[in-house]
Amino acid sequence: MKKRCLSSCSVSGVFDKKTSLLYFFSVIDIVKAEFIKSAAVPADYPSGGLPEFAFFGRSNAGKSSLINMITGRKSLVKTGSTPGMTRLVNFFRINDAFVLTDLPGYGFARRSAAETAAFDKMLADYASFRPQLRAVFFLMDSRRPPAQVEKDSVEYFSARGIDVVLVATKSDKLNNSMRASAKNSLSGFFGLLTGKIIFSSALKKTGRAELLAEIESRL
Ligand SMILES: Nc1nc2c(ncn2[C@@H]2O[C@H](COP(=O)(O)OP(=O)(O)O)[C@@H](O)[C@H]2O)c(=O)[nH]1
Ligand SMILES: [Mg+2]
């Protein structure tokens, strides 16, 4: 059954429209999650044209852990390995209905100029040659203040007409007041570039319904 947020779902003062019934009742059931392939260049990207959603952010931001959390699989994606060493885009097919991609992370300190150039090329290729890309989940460790590179990345995707959903990860590390101040500083920093910011924790499995709702609304 396809469930949508009906007009009656806005329970004012308790939940706003988007966090009401849609989030509680419309979580996609992940029945199948499989690794398709890794690819370095567009010619190797899998074909098929299913709607695609990318996870992008600094090395160690929690991209792989979040994909595992969303799909409910412990180790669909390898986590915590030497950060920044791969330039491959990893593709995962979910429910035979959409694809999630784990993009290489930026900001790894030991990256050489050649590696940086290769990384930029990978990202430009991916953003340019993936018309089925519906949105980029842009992950930031919620404990880190955002930097110019984050703003540049969001602008980069937005300028190409690609939706960006900001995700503040590892929110289990924040208490309520830290979370409120992270939220303020992120929305202040990104300003009009962002609608809302999803706080997630792969550890506590928070933010899953909101992330899946973002996917479902673009299928
Ligand atoms: N406390 C906490 N640690 C996390 C969370 N997500 C990821 N991590 C840890 O952060 C490190 C990097 O995670 P990973 O998913 O590999 O990041 P990636 O490099 O962006 O793919 C690992 O040690 C994870 O266990 C989270 O939600 N909470
Ligand atoms: Mg990873």
Domains of the chain: 1-29 (no CATH), 31-216 (3.40.50.300)
CB-count burial class (<10 Å; 0-12, 13-18, 19+) for 107: middle
Three-state secondary-structure class, residue 31:
coil
Q: At what angle do helices 113-128 and 148-159 cross, to 10 degrees?
A: 30
Q: Is the CB of 105 inside a 6 Å radius of any atom of ligand 1?
A: yes
* C-alpha 13 to ligand 2 mean position (Å): 38
Q: Is the CB of 104 inside a 6 Å radius of any atom of ligand 1?
A: no
Report the predicted TM-score, pTM, of the whole model to 2 decimal places.
Answer: 0.87
Contact 32, 194 (CB under 8 A): no
- Minimal CA–CA distance to 206: which of 5, 1, 23, 17? 23
Span 42-73, pLDDT tens digits: 999 999 999 999 999 998 999 999 999 999 99
Quickly list DSSP for 70-136: HHT-SSSS--SSSTT---PEEEEEETTTEEEEEPPPB--TT--HHHHHHHHHHHHHHHHS-TTEEEE
Cα 206 from chain centroid? 14
Span 79-133, pLDDT tens digits: 876 655 567 899 999 999 999 999 988 776 666 788 788 888 899 999 999 999 9
* C-alpha 80 to ligand 1 mean position (Å): 6
Strand order in the sheet with 52-57: 33-39, 89-94, 98-102, 52-57, 133-141, 163-169, 197-199
What band does 24 get if pLDDT is binned at 50, 70 and 90? Answer: low
| Cβ neighbours, 10 Å, residue 88 | 16
**Bridge partner list, 115:** none
* C-alpha 178 to ligand 1 mean position (Å): 19
144-148, 170-174, 175-179, 211-215, range with the lowest pLDDT:
144-148
Which residue in this structure is represented by tokens 């992940």? 30
Ligand 1: atom nearest CA of 80 is: 16
Contact 98, 90 (CB under 8 A): no
